[in-house]
Amino acid sequence: MLQVVVLSAPAEVLLARIKARTNNPYGERNEERDAVLNHLATVEPLLRATETNAIDATAPVERVVQQLEELAGPIPAEPCHT
């Protein structure tokens, strides 16, 4: 079954994570942070309109991964051919 999963976090959490990371320069410039906020305001509602599941991405990463694994279900032993 096809699933559209939206991982979401509030703007202040996204900006804090961007500021704290050291392995990616994106978000260091004001224009980039403004783009993140713009996308959060304009793109996330479009994604939510088609989502089948939403995951609170403020949860610990282990919990987010667990939720994604539960949604994905077991991995087939043989590759699927469609």
For residue 73, the model assigns a pLDDT of 86
Q: Which two tokens mark 41? A: 């305001």
Q: Which two tokens mark 30? A: 């004001």
Q: What is the pLDDT of residues 33-72, one digit of tens each?
A: 999 999 999 999 999 999 999 999 999 999 999 999 999 9
Q: What is the pTM of this model?
A: 0.76
- For the chain, percent of residues with pLDDT exceeding 90: 83
CA distance 69 to 63: 10
pLDDT at position 78 over 90: no
For residue 71, the model assigns a pLDDT of 92
